Structure 1
Amino acid sequence: MAEQCGSQDSDCGSFEKGDTEDHTLERLRLAAEARLTQGVYEVEVSYGGEADLHREKGRCGKNPGHKNFIPSPQFSLTHLPAGFQDKQLLETIGLCAQLTVRLVVNYTSMSRPEFLPNSKSAYPFSRFRGKTVPYRFGSGWLFDAFPRGVLGEGKGGECPCSECGQSGKPSSAWYELMFLTALHVVFDSEESKATDVELFYDSDVDRDSTVLKLAGGCVEMADIETDGCLLVCWTHDLDLGDKLQALSRQRWDLMREINMRYTREERGGLVVVVSHPHGCSKQVTVGWAVDRSDWTGLEVYRYSADTCPGSSGAGMWPVGWADPDFSILPHSKGVSKGVNECSPGVVVVD
């Protein structure tokens, strides 16, 4: 697995050697208890390795069999409902999928509050503050990629990543990568520094040769009220930065066009979610918006597109319903049987 800028080892398989059925059952029991502490939010947790994630997927009580989850490389026009079998729409979903990431969080910040805002309900994972287990798995997506240093129109400066800080020879050319997710997945910079951002986890086949792992850098913008988080990391791989920037800009351009084509008044209501359910490979689900409400000027959607633990922070696109310049919102929670809800997100300013 390729690594960038001092990525931390996210292998949580320390229990795998000499494993027994009793050990496995105990890990799964602990994970189930930890999962319950987040209430209706949808982070996946594990006390073991990757094998435990696949066990959790097989034991899923929310969507047994996951029949509506389509592996992203296999998603096709036939998976879109009548009236939306549009090649440009499919291309845009493909771009969203390429820019979706798995987040592996290896630490719980001491700064997590005890309770949710204006509530007596516990804040997700607050009981694990200061601990490195359980490992948490969520989703996110690349908002944009920006050249920095000498690449940034003469702005200069030195790369802020931990690798450069330790080397004594910081790079003068790098890319800054901005990822959006839910705040309950990555709460602050203390957690982001213990987070692995995994790109291109599209399949379990040859996973180690295809997944690119970046080290989390810092949280630049966060809002506990909206549950939105902007996670920033850096890479010296300029070819990767160029590729991600091109994919991101192409996605936004196509998304604006698609949103204008499928306005709410004309055909709206289709919702697309791309996530890493149960911390496993990337999947696409589609459904319908069932409600939209206003949260102090920001939109909150409820929708029928399936999600599972591990989908927290995933990109939710209400086709034709959202602001054409900012069309993806972070999935946040499951509110009732067959109904899920997004966060209104955060406003990003470059």
Structure 2
Amino acid sequence: MSLPQDPPRSFFPFGNPFRMISPKSSKLSPQLLAVLHAFEETLEERLKKLIPKSKDEVSMSWMTLAMQALCESHNDIKTLMSDLELPVTDWDEKWIDVYLDISVKLLDICNAFSSELSRLNQGQLLLQCTLHHLGSSSSDRLFRACSSLDGWRQRMSSKNPRIEKCGSILDNLIESSDKKVKKSAKGTVLMQAIYGVKVLTVFVCSVFATAFSGSTKNLTDMDVADVYTWAPSFKGLQNLVNEEIRIRFSSGKFTVLNELEAVDLSVRELYPIIRGNIHTIEKESHAKTVEELGKATKNFSQGLDLLAKEVDGFFQVVLSGRDALLANLRSVTLCNDHILGGKSDAQVVN
């Protein structure tokens, strides 16, 4: 698979919507400051845990941990809303617009990631078929094994159009951060917390889109102001992960996923052997290569299952938060309509 080398997206062509959002902490009460600091301390610890101890840790396992961190952080937003005792009736209308706008884009991204994981899973089924057919030395079974590997190679060289669209979705998600909203004291806490989670979300999603597309065009470098306590941890995480991804692609690798690379190496070694011995193959002399493919396929399959589970979990977290907000909005509307209806009836009676 040929890899286009794309320039890093260090700055945004329409200005950086992730520019500093002043916390204005001096205007917050001690109670609200405590709530905000607790939220940001948790976010900072989560970011620190995602910093790989070595560059080799940038893998499907890391992506699974990153998606878990997203689920936890978005759940923390729900908890924060409860702690702030900020009912929907107190929300600025633009807060609602921002929240719903972000959520629908995240659902689109989750669907794109799920489609790619499904595509990769179909590919690993071809690998399973290959291993099954290699259990026999008959020419017919070897032909089927070769056919399965052909299918795998074609699948890996193809593009997923839904992943190709993730770049524009991420750009729109970033732009949604640029909306001006009125902030009460509680609103300031809420929007600052959402900002932190949004930064983590864009970073993780950009890494996913890059890993799945095989191109750095979706990789985003965000400039976060140092006024946030979690900013140094985020910058360290972003710099290490993004740098390693760029190094791997620039060295000619077709993927940044260790598990997928191990499969690819085994396939590259085994494929010419099978094609050259389509009628017969010496199982003993090539048993080690087949065994390595089996181990790599198993690790790849397990990684896919875990990652797909976390992506689905994140989809459900975003969807449930969106549904809860819409349900609250409907209940408020119905309540207001009931009150207005009651007043109207009272006027008629009089």
Higher RCO (CA 8 Å, separation ≥ 6 residues) = 2
Is TM (by shorter chain) over 0.5?
Answer: no
Greater percentage in strand: 1
Larger Rg: 2
TMscore range, shorter length: under 0.3
